[in-house]
Structure 1
Amino acid sequence: MFRRLAKWLHRTRQSVLWIGSIGLLACSGAPVQSGTSDRLDPDTEIAPFVSELVSRHGFEPERLERILGGVRVRPDVLEAIARPAESLDWYQYRPIFLTETRIARGEKFWRAHADTLAAASREYGVSAEIIVAIIGVETLYGTRKGKHLVLDSLATLAFRYPRRSKFFRSELEQFLLLAQQEGFNTPKVKGSYAGAMGIPQFISSSYRRYAVDFDGDGVRDLLGSDTDAIGSVANYLKKHGWQRDGAVALPASVSGDKYKALVKKGMKPNTPVSDMHNFGVVVLYASDNESPGALIELTNKNDSEHWVGLQNFYAITRYNHSSLYAMAVFQLAREIRKRYSGVEG
């Protein structure tokens, strides 16, 4: 899901395992406002926020005051967001996700949910292996959904992290609306320290906007329903431009220096593949030379590799705004499909 979390993927192995996705915030070394209490101030923090939400949404003020009054400010959340990002190169990033465990569990997840994945693919046009891989990258198929209280995390960042207070105040508002709509036990919901939650690690605004009740039980349950998670991931990608039966990325080779201009353009596919040869780029397996693409450069230990990301690659980067993330999803998906289909090598 997520522009501002994209840079966080590069911090540590553990943070990547949790957020892979959720890619919504830009990590910064800006100072945090630590405060002098582990509780929100009832007059300067809680009261104005409650007034805003009552005015906009008709919340019961006493209930909001009670919920927010129970929040504990979490120093570990402030410390996590304040650490400068440590950029990982592709050769360091790839082994985090392309593991035997993640591939094997991906095959097992696919077999356990084959009918649901097939239904999601039919309805939304997204390949089953991509859905499986995203859930695998985000939470290891629902087994690592985060251990932070979402309410505490969002409130801490909304009121004690000025650098992103506007965004987190909005997400806290969205979380309270979401909890009301979906019947969550607000203080008990757990997720990442940035507030992403559930099997696919949606933040609150994305949960409200893109989650679907794919099992038809009347509840959009991304916290516990694999079926709803599968449908919601597929819906998210479709809403962000996924093209049915389209390729994701194509390997490429480069020569000279002109190709660097394409790399600098970023991840959005806006250069026709047929024009890339003018920049010293040879694209392999390009069946539709008029398709727009983006040249992606990945740094290995001793050299770099190049790929042309197509529209579906870009759709994956809308889940997490990182070419490393999208490539990890793509390559994990390929390995899971091979295993599922009984193809070796």
Structure 2
Amino acid sequence: MTEHTRTLRRPLLGAALCSVALGLCGATPSLLAAGKRRVSFQEEEIDPGRYRNGSNPQAAAFIDEMVAKHGFSRATLNDWFGQAVYSATVARLIMPPATPGRKSWRAYRSRFIEPIRINAGVRFWEQHRDTLRRAEAEFGVPASVIVGIIGVETIYGRDMGSFRVLDSLSTLAFDYPDTPNRASRSALFRAQLQDYLLWCRETRTDVFSVLGSYAGAIGIPQFMPTSLREYATDYDRDGHIDLRNSPVDAIGSVGRFLQLHGWEAGRPVVWRLAQDEGSRGIAAAAADGEPWPTRTLNQLTRAGLRLDEPIDAAREGETGVLVVDLPTPDAPTEYMLGLRNFYVLTRYNRSFFYALAVYQLGEAVKAAMM
């Protein structure tokens, strides 16, 4: 058995933070987890040489496309993919659990709205107060929301992932595990791999130097390569974008991402519902799982739903809303109404749990700052 066919083990540099849900920073960009799993290892299983010299048909076809479509040097690509490795660890982690548990909002929330993240968020906010104030003024996104996203994603840069991005994306583009959605997922990761190589060329970045999550998400805000190219910004004005080492760039990039996805400055994220049986029943009937506003407030209030909010019902009657359902096993499902800004948070990650955890973590940090 040669070096290029046997599976080896490579030490990991630290805990790998999973960022895996196809929101791609929200159904397009950031491939961030609908329910993040946190995984720690001492080593990673790899298979060197798997993509060398056309040995993998998918990799060979990808190289042909990058040469024809984007003018890459075939020799350069052959060299890069000759050094890329298949990661059995990545392939294993991308798989859904063999026995999926029941979704629990309370369990999910407890992982993010807790003292370690809140205290780290306070320190982050204090250290970057001026930058957060500038981003809020420029993008219209509250500092608390930016702080919430960065806290949920990486605990303010503490857990950014230790997988080589080239290896992760190659594994998932060319050798995605055998699942019912394999074709669509492989295509998605091929697109991310394409954007990663384009970004490396545009920024003169060594393709082997970038580390990220096992799904290929990069830096403090865990941007996938597509988001990196489209939304990242040089917010510290040092001449280059560095989401792994520059919290300032991370803050500006998150703010810009949310602004360009339609964030409405000065508007709420969610409204609380009254807890009477009638309101809860209407919310349950209207909960369709869609992340965008599909009804108006008037439609729900005319059916009998009541809010636990001091709002001007006449002025807000035509506001678009969605029902956010938050199930917990062996407990009553919780409901809220999400507005346009809640929808925008699901562009970062489509999960309702994620979007609300981001908002509530940011609010908890803001309260702790007072």
1:14 to partner: Cα distance: 4.1
1:41 to partner: Cα distance: 4.6
Alpha-carbon distance in 2 for matches of 1:236, 1:141? 17
Q: For residue 328 of structure 1, what is the aligned residue in structure 2?
A: 357
Alpha-carbon distance in 2 for matches of 1:133, 1:11? 15
**SS in structure 2 opposite 1:207?**
helix
1:201 to partner: Cα distance: 0.2
Alpha-carbon distance in 1 for matches of 2:186, 2:31? 18
Alpha-carbon distance in 2 for matches of 1:190, 1:37? 18
- Where in structure 2 are the equivalents of 1:2-151 lying within 5 Å? 2-3=26-27, 8-10=33-35, 12-14=37-39, 39-43=50-54, 44-84=57-97, 86-151=101-166
Aligned partner of 1:12: which letter?
R
Q: For residue 302 of structure 2, what is the aligned residue in structure 1?
A: 278
Q: Cα RMSD over matched residues?
A: 2.3
Aligned partner of 1:40: which letter?
Y
1:264–1:207 Cα change, 3 Å: same
1:80 to partner: Cα distance: 1.3
- Where in structure 2 are the equivalents of 1:220-259 lying within 5 Å? 220-253=241-274, 255-256=277-278, 257-259=281-283
Aligned partner of 1:39: which letter?
R
Q: For residue 15 of structure 2, what is the aligned residue in structure 1?
A: none
Alpha-carbon distance in 2 for matches of 1:302, 1:87? 12
Are the aligned partners of 1:142 and 1:199 in contact in 2 as well (CA < 8 Å)? Answer: yes
Alpha-carbon distance in 1 for matches of 2:235, 2:103? 36
- Asked whether 1:192 is paired with 2:213, we answer yes
Aligned partner of 1:133: which letter?
G
Are the aligned partners of 2:146 and 2:251 in contact in 1 as well (CA < 8 Å)? Answer: yes
1:82 to partner: Cα distance: 2.3
Q: For residue 310 of structure 1, what is the aligned residue in structure 2?
A: 339
1:176–1:294 Cα change, 3 Å: same
Alpha-carbon distance in 2 for matches of 1:210, 1:87? 34
- Normalised by the size of structure 1, how large is the TM-score? 0.87
**SS in structure 1 opposite 2:156?**
coil
Are the aligned partners of 1:199 and 1:222 in contact in 2 as well (CA < 8 Å)? Answer: yes
Are the aligned partners of 1:255 and 1:280 in contact in 2 as well (CA < 8 Å)? Answer: no
Deviations 1:114-140 (A, max 9, x none): 110111111100000100110000000
Q: Which moved more, 1:278-287 or 1:111-120?
A: 278-287
Alpha-carbon distance in 1 for matches of 2:131, 2:232? 15
Alpha-carbon distance in 2 for matches of 1:219, 1:37? 32
Q: For residue 286 of structure 2, what is the aligned residue in structure 1?
A: 262
**SS in structure 1 opposite 2:326?**
strand
1:265–1:271 Cα change, 3 Å: farther
1:58–1:87 Cα change, 3 Å: farther
More helix by share: 1
1:182–1:233 Cα change, 3 Å: same
Aligned partner of 2:232: which letter?
A
**Percent identity of paired positions between Structure 1 and Structure 2:** 36
1:46–1:181 Cα change, 3 Å: same
**SS in structure 2 opposite 1:156?**
helix
**SS in structure 2 opposite 1:294?**
strand
Deviations 1:295-337 (A, max 9, x none): 1121234212211111111111110001100110111111111
- Normalised by the size of structure 2, how large is the TM-score? 0.82
Alpha-carbon distance in 1 for matches of 2:194, 2:223? 15
Alpha-carbon distance in 1 for matches of 2:143, 2:350? 21
Aligned partner of 2:245: which letter?
G
Q: For residue 29 of structure 1, what is the aligned residue in structure 2?
A: none
Deviations 1:95-150 (A, max 9, x none): 00011110111011011001101111111000001001100000000111011111
- Where in structure 2 are the equivalents of 1:157-196 lying within 5 Å? 157-161=172-176, 162-163=182-183, 164-196=185-217
* Runs of at least 5 residues in structure 1 that lack an aligned partner in the other structure: 16-34
Alpha-carbon distance in 2 for matches of 1:91, 1:207? 32
Q: For residue 30 of structure 1, what is the aligned residue in structure 2?
A: none
